[in-house]
Amino acid sequence: MSVDLSTSLGSLQLAAPTMTASGCAAAGRELAQFGDVASLGAVVTKSIMLNPRSGRATPRMAETPSGMLNSIGLQGPGLEAFLEKDLSWLVENDVTTIVSIAGGSVEEFREIAIRLRDVPGIAGLEVNISCPNVESRGQVFACDPNSASAVIEAVRAEWTSSAPILAKLSPDVTDIVTIARSVADAGADGVSMINTLLGMVIDVDNMRPLLGGRTGGLSGPAIRPVAVRAVYQVHAALPDLPILGMGGIRSGHDALEFIAAGASAVSIGTVVFGDPGAPWRVAAELAKELDARGYGSLREVVGAAHKG
């Protein structure tokens, strides 16, 4: 079997199509005991903000049918500590790294882009606009086309590197194509989709929301059909816009659905908590799934579900 799994996201050439999903494998180092991290398509790091952040109140996780709800709340060490401890490890180990960034304001995104643009070893920027805008009633940037494009315009204006900018979209919108179009017009080279869906679990013994932060993000297989639908819709409307697909991928078969819907690569998230080798396993399974259907390369299947 010799299936060519190489792919690309805009100008970024990838030897392998599976990546970690932001927030599900920290900065990749913990995965090193389970496989060669440099052989992954890329590590997408946990979203980093300008300053250290402690995240939301506990409990922060709840199991749900075929998924999980988390309210970590962008906990992290802040940009400088990330560069010193995490990015340096990734660079030393030749890992293709997509840095995920988050901010509470357009200015915070801009500042992060300025700080990162000359840092070597960044293969791509994933701009997590699925976080609340502190200056606009806590509204999530990715839920409004104007806020979403304001962030991407600011990052684009400062980003002098040739590494692509991917906008990470939220599925919690009426029309995800409108948002994808607005970020593409603002200068995103591609989109990552989907982030978690907003959910809630109630503890009926004490009659309170179970998570300390009350609401949380739903991930895992439960959201996969929503994610596949989102990828399909965006690829149908914007066929030239590269898509990094994610949402409940557990197997090569699942990954193939995303590729056929229009994704050029996939991120592996929640499944990694139970199976840390999943990003490598899914790539191997994907090769078998393609081979079994007579395909010689992944590229020929991108968007295949739209043909005919």
Ligand X SMILES: Cc1cc2nc3c(=O)[nH]c(=O)nc-3n(C[C@H](O)[C@H](O)[C@H](O)COP(=O)(O)O)c2cc1C
The answer to whether 74 contacts ligand X (rule: CB under 6 A) is yes
Strands 61-64 and 67-70: antiparallel
Shortest reach from residue 141's CB to ligand X, in Å:
12
The answer to whether 71 contacts ligand X (rule: CB under 6 A) is no
Binding residue for ligand X (CB under 6 A) from 9, 12, 16, 24? 24
What track of x and - describes contact with ligand X for positions 43 through 62 (by CB under 6 A)?
---xx---------------
| Interface size with ligand X, residues (CB under 6 A) | 24
> With CB under 6 A as the contact rule, which of the stretches 16-24, 83-91, 234-242, 281-289 interacts with ligand X?
16-24
Q: Is 131 a catalytic residue?
A: yes
With tokens 């009350």, the residue in question is: 214
Alpha-carbon span 117 to 155, nearest angstrom: 10
Shortest reach from residue 295's CB to ligand X, in Å:
24
Judged by CB under 6 A, the chain residues 129 through 168 that form the site for ligand X are: 168
Contact 227, 196 (CB under 8 A): no
Judged by CB under 6 A, the chain residues 263 through 292 that form the site for ligand X are: 269-270
Alpha-carbon span 271 to 282, nearest angstrom: 10
List CB contacts of 217: < 8 A, sequence separation 6 or more.
Answer: 69, 70, 71, 195, 196, 197, 198, 199
Which residue among the candidates 44, 48, 131, 290 is catalytic per the annotation? 131
In three-state secondary structure terms, 307 is: coil
Binding residue for ligand X (CB under 6 A) from 7, 18, 70, 96? 70
By residue count, the chain amounts to: 308
Strands 190-193 and 165-168: parallel
Upstream peptide bond of 59 is cis (omega within 30 degrees of 0): yes
Nearer to ligand X (CB atom), residue 59 or residue 297: 59
Which residues are identified as catalytic? 131
Which residues of this chain interact with ligand X, rule CB under 6 A? Answer: 21-24, 46-47, 70, 72, 74, 100, 128, 168, 195-196, 217, 219-220, 223, 246-249, 269-270
